[in-house]
């Protein structure tokens, strides 16, 4: 019987554009839910989303994506750095996992089994 190997699944740090965008959105959602972040500061991403719904508020040729990016960027940059770092560590933390070799079924199909245990 094969020996069980203890492994850790670590999220890839050098992700692509979509992975980085997903991480940024998760960070913003976590910061919006955090009571330690000022409610006034939370108006930045909300205001940029309101601008997306009503783009004629600002006169002139302002790109909608630039306004949304600026609002979200300023929100993260103006949040207290220790709170941002705490949430980033939680999003990047390693997920403990256990590797199991599964026997092959007839017909070439493989059964993949696994267990997930979250550390406190």
Write out pLDDT tens, residues 31-88: 999 999 999 999 999 988 888 787 776 666 667 778 888 899 999 999 999 999 998 8
Coil/strand/helix, residue 35: coil
pTM: 0.58
Answer with the residue of higher pLDDT: 95 or 39: 39
Domain ranges of the chain: 16-93
Residue reference for tokens 């000022």: 38
Instruction: Identify the bridge partners of residue 96 per DSSP, sorted by sequence position.
Output: 8
Mean confidence (pLDDT) of the chain: 76
């Amino acid at each position: 019987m094969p020996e069980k190997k203890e492994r850790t699944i670590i999220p890839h740090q050098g992700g692509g554009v979509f992975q980085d965008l997903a991480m940024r959105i998760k960070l913003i959602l976590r910061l919006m839910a955090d009571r330690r972040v000022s409610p006034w500061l939370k108006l930045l991403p909300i205001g940029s989303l309101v601008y997306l719904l009503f783009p004629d508020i600002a006169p002139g040729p302002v790109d909608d994506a630039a306004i949304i990016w600026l609002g979200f960027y300023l929100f993260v940059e103006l949040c207290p750095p220790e709170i941002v770092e705490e949430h980033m560590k939680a999003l990047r933390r390693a997920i403990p996992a256990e590797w199991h070799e599964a026997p092959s079924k007839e017909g070439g199909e493989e059964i993949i089994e696994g267990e997930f245990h979250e550390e406190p």
